Amino acid sequence: MSTSSPVLAARGLTKHFRAGHFRAGGRRVNGRPPARAIHAVDGVDLELHRGQVLAVVGESGSGKSTVARLLAQLIPFTGGQVLLDGVDARVRGRRAFRAYAQRVQMIFQDPFASLNPVHPVRYTLTRALRLHRRHPTGGTLRGAELEAALTELLERVHLTPAERYVDSYPHELSGGQRQRIAIARALAADPEVLLADEPVSMLDVSIRLGILNLLADLRDRLGIAILYITHDIASARYFADRTTVLYAGQVMETGDSESVTQEPLHPYTRLLVASAPDPDDLAGAGAAAVRDQGTGGEPPSLVDPPPGCRFAPRCPYARDLCRSETPALIEVAPGRSAACWGYSDRDDRPDVGVPTGSATSAGEAAA
Ligand SMILES: Nc1ncnc2c1ncn2[C@@H]1O[C@H](COP(=O)(O)OP(=O)(O)OP(=O)(O)O)[C@@H](O)[C@H]1O
């Protein structure tokens, strides 16, 4: 658990997208189609600290990308706050956005789509440098200073010698090299935060590790705070200091990556860990129970989601309480929380089979 104050934080971050025009059954209200909302992200809290990676993991549709886009302020949020160094950082207008983007940069999943194929690397990086940096004498970055900055950027992402890459076009580069260019473009701003939305999922398995190691290097050498969005909990264990598990737009569990992946508290995290391909991602009896008792089924509809825990329909331990009231995040051990009634002191709590070796039992947790 980090004791420093976060560079970027979300408090109660909420995003409801407007959806179709009819209630189920097609009824109209007052002759006008009722507005329906997709509760893509609901009340999410998270913190990014300098020199640390936070992984946000979850299945497809759990709201991971929306969280990243909200933190990048590429889309407006419906509720909650984004805080930069503790200060409300909601941007209004282009200038404020540019100032924010100088400090908080995003890397996208698809390096093939995120680089313009008609421009060489030099053009892409020069544009980014000119947007964020000035020539020492003022004015636009140019000449020897520009060349030095281009070389330095390419070296930072380990594309050396720089002159081999600087005049290349995207189609001349591999997927991994393109993602390195996308990372270099983000670094042109000298950001304090990198929001990486599934940065390796479209890359060949053999080169994923290289990109994750590069990001780890930027975290360690430059002290950048990194948000790592992934559906692969095994890579979160390898790469992230802390991990937050998202399900149907809500945080289910958060803690240091080792504990979350090795001793998952929330039944949903146990399911994720149990279905991870890496045999090292063991999980104890809890995961086996989740797997054996079957948790088939789909995530709930995010349009007008029902009350209670959103995982309850798939949870083998769910009781009436889980289906009727939404559990808040409960601190189960220092720095470890789970949004599960099983860790509450309620008499009607479910018995979720607290994992062996877990820091506390349900009773202690609630004390
Ligand atoms: N612009 C939009 N308009 C309406 N609904 C949206 C929009 N963007 C996302 N959603 C919905 O919000 C929910 C969360 O989507 P999001 O892309 O954040 O999930 P995800 O966890 O990143 O999934 P994936 O891993 O498949 O990218 C989904 O139900 C999605 O359909």
How many angstroms does the Cα of residue 109 sit away from the middle of ligand 1?
14
The confidence band for 110, taking pLDDT boundaries of 50, 70 and 90, is confident
Q: What pLDDT is stored for residue 292 in this prediction?
A: 47
Average pLDDT, the chain: 87
Backbone angles phi, psi at 333, to 5 degrees: -150, 165
Q: Is 237 a residue whose pLDDT tops 80?
A: yes
Q: What is the pLDDT of residues 283-334, one digit of tens each?
A: 444 444 444 444 456 778 888 787 899 999 999 999 999 999 999 999 999 9
Q: Is 24 a residue whose pLDDT tops 80?
A: no
252 part of a folded domain? no
pTM of the model: 0.88
Q: How many CB atoms lie within 10 A of CB 285?
A: 12
| Co-location of 177 and 316 in the same domain | no
193 part of a folded domain? yes
* Closest residue by Cα to residue 323 from 339, 311, 336: 311
Q: What is the pLDDT of residues 209-226, one digit of tens each?
A: 999 999 999 999 999 999
Say how far residue 306 (Cα) sits from the centre of its chain: 25
Q: What is the pLDDT of residues 122-152, one digit of tens each?
A: 999 999 999 888 777 777 888 889 999 999 9
Q: What pLDDT is stored for residue 365 in this prediction?
A: 41
30 part of a folded domain? no
Ligand 1 atom with the shortest distance to the CA of 109: 27
Residue whose CA lies nearest to ligand 1 atom number 30 = 61
| Co-location of 201 and 281 in the same domain | no
Alpha helices in 249-332 (DSSP H): 257-262, 267-274, 285-293, 320-324
How many angstroms does the Cα of residue 75 sit away from the middle of ligand 1?
12
> Nearest 5 degrees, angle CA 120-CA 123-CA 127?
150
Residue whose CA lies nearest to ligand 1 atom number 3 = 17
32 part of a folded domain? no
Ligand 1 atom with the shortest distance to the CA of 67: 18
Residue whose CA lies nearest to ligand 1 atom number 8 = 66
Ligand 1 atom with the shortest distance to the CA of 246: 21
How many angstroms does the Cα of residue 292 sit away from the middle of ligand 1?
30
CB-defined site of ligand 1, < 6 Å = 17, 38, 40, 58, 60-66, 231, 302
* 78: CATH: 3.40.50.300
Quote the CA–CA distance of 104 and 166 in Å, as a whole number: 25
User: In a mutational test of the pocket of ligand 1, which residue from 64, 74, 228, 298 has the highest number of ligand atoms less than 8 Å from its CB?
Assistant: 64
| Co-location of 94 and 179 in the same domain | yes
ipTM of predicted complex = 0.97
Quote the CA–CA distance of 248 and 60 in Å, as a whole number: 9
| Co-location of 184 and 328 in the same domain | no
Domain that holds residue 94: 8-18+37-243
| Co-location of 299 and 155 in the same domain | no
Q: What is the CA radius of gyration of the chain?
A: 22
Count of domains for the chain: 2
* Closest residue by Cα to residue 122 from 165, 161, 155, 158: 165
